[in-house]
Structure 1
Amino acid sequence: MTVQLYARDIGAGTPLVLLHAFPLSSSMWLAQREGLAGRFRVITPDLRGFGGSRLGDGEPSVDAMADDVARLFARTGLSRAVVGGLSLGGYVAMALCRRHPDLVHGLLLAGTRAGADTDDVRGTRLRQAERLERDGDVTVLLDEVLPDLVGPTTFQQRALVYGRVRGLVQSTPAAAAAWAQRAMAARGDASGTLRELNVPALVMVGDEDALATEADARAVAEALPNAELTVVPRAGHLCAVEQPDLFNQAAAEFAAALARAR
């Protein structure tokens, strides 16, 4: 079954397609829609199974999620866009670069890794997927994933932000989370794709990110032929949610420079 992604599409100008983190939805991009839509066309889809998008069937695969995004391009009349992805969204963005490179005008990767999972991480994902399927709720995500989604600064000083993230995790459908965990566990190394990419890239990472570390971000940036690295202070894995003004400023400067270079 072909999945048609639900997407919010606002603003005008250079298109900026933002792909959300696991286990959230496009709701996480609220500050980006508010802060960037005055200068850019901001498109924020819900990846399959999350938010307003149906899960469909088929083998769990990040490639399938990238193909969903490519169909969204066709449906919305987009020929090329700056594609940004955070966490899971970054994995999908890298798969899009491999499978549909002509769609990508520029690449923004935040809080993500190029390498495949280690055996330990893969085992954890599959164990969590089994529990999500068995329990039919997201308790395992609240217990094991939520604590690492934000940095200690956010946890200690930004109670509203942490509460919002917790609410987004709580509203995640268990079946979609299990499917996505299996998809991420099965993905391969994307370093070769990055090395062959011929568009500018911006790599971002929170300096308190425990899931995709600054070392991971540097490895991503070094694999890309034309990339800048921005470290976001006092932010963990969800740097776009924890420090939206800093994230938006960097994303806007990157997209605007691409527009000028056309």
Structure 2
Amino acid sequence: MTIHYEVSGKGYPVVFLHGYGETHKIWNHYRERLSDKYKVITPDLPGFGKSDSLPYELSLDMVANSIYDCLKRLNVSECIIMGHSLGGYVTLEIAKRFPNIVSHIGLIHSTALADSDEKKEGREKSIEFIQKHGVAKFIESFVPMLFDDSHRDKLKDTIQSIVDEGSKIPEKTLTDYMLAMRDRSDSLDFIKEFEGSILFVYGEKDSSIPVALSKSQIKYMKHPYLKNLPRTGHMGMFEEEEEVFQAISKFIEVTHK
């Protein structure tokens, strides 16, 4: 299978993984701006964008394997990995399964906690909606709600671009990943033991991951770098792009000596 990716720059490798219903394009501005100092790699997760779907039953550990294989083909022996939402879950899986390749991680509007019963029920309802109404209608309703309403008007072109890309995603990809997220394991024990630094970016207005849930994990991290975004939902890399860029840039600079 083929994993599509974009790569820019030279130097220490930094990998950015996109979230659910997205493609590598959400990280384009970050790749462009960081590529003067680092080798920045932005893959499409299997089934998203231009990447092939997995040829077997989808699980987050299998997704992690596919991204690891892609990095090995690029001769990456060590890197920092950052993931948005679903991309954060995959980041955690890669760090668990292949600790030698991951020096530090970034969780951008993501969580080390497994789904609650309520969250699992919500995922199952989303699957039913996708199967009944189709991909386009789901993406059109799903994407805008990731942004806090205070940002939706000024970012309407960005939102529409994400919707346009997301509407091309195969139905099976969306439903399979929804199941994989529902069934993923808890990673709290892992972050308690992880010796690297963790950039943890969270939004006070995030309806997908409530702020109390985000804050509850911080005490388990050995070396946390925190970025709290008071006016932001689930898409801080757009809602507060400059703040998030500076947090990421400083994190890489401080942790990569």
Shorter-chain TM-score above 0.5: yes
Structure 2 equivalent of residue 209 of structure 1: 206
Structure 2 equivalent of residue 252 of structure 1: 249
Structure 1 equivalent of residue 89 of structure 2: 91
Are the counterparts in 2 of residues 14 and 255 from structure 1 also a CA contact under 8 Å?
Answer: no
Deviation of 1:14 after TM superposition, in Å, equals 1.7
Say whether residues 1:218 and 2:246 are aligned partners: no
For residues 220 and 140 of structure 2, what CA distance do their matches in structure 1 show? 33
Deviation of 1:221 after TM superposition, in Å, equals 2.5
For 1:138, what is the secondary structure of its paired residue?
A: helix
**TM-aligned CA distance change 1:202 to 1:155, over 3 Å:** same
Question: Which structure 2 segments of 5+ residues have no match?
Answer: none
Q: Pick from 135, 149, 152: which aligns with 1:137?
A: 135
For residues 157 and 131 of structure 1, what CA distance do their matches in structure 2 show? 28
Matches within 5 A, 1:1-262: 3-133=1-131, 136-143=134-141, 145-260=142-257
For residues 35 and 177 of structure 1, what CA distance do their matches in structure 2 show? 30
Deviation of 1:138 after TM superposition, in Å, equals 3.4
Are the counterparts in 2 of residues 25 and 51 from structure 1 also a CA contact under 8 Å?
Answer: yes
Are the counterparts in 2 of residues 133 and 175 from structure 1 also a CA contact under 8 Å?
Answer: no
Greater alpha carbon shift after TM alignment, 30-39 vs 191-200: 30-39
Greater alpha carbon shift after TM alignment, 97-106 vs 77-86: 97-106
Are the counterparts in 2 of residues 204 and 232 from structure 1 also a CA contact under 8 Å?
Answer: yes
Percent identity (aligned): 25
Greater alpha carbon shift after TM alignment, 201-210 vs 180-189: 201-210
Letter in 1 for 2:2: Q
Deviation of 1:252 after TM superposition, in Å, equals 0.9
RCO higher in 1 or 2 (8 Å CA, sep ≥ 6)? Answer: 1
Structure 2-normalised TM-score?
A: 0.93
For residues 184 and 80 of structure 2, what CA distance do their matches in structure 1 show? 23
Deviation of 1:68 after TM superposition, in Å, equals 1.1
For residues 231 and 166 of structure 2, what CA distance do their matches in structure 1 show? 21
| CA RMSD, Structure 1 to Structure 2 (Å) | 1.7
For residues 219 and 204 of structure 2, what CA distance do their matches in structure 1 show? 18
For residues 34 and 218 of structure 2, what CA distance do their matches in structure 1 show? 24
Structure 1-normalised TM-score?
A: 0.91
For residues 131 and 156 of structure 1, what CA distance do their matches in structure 2 show? 26
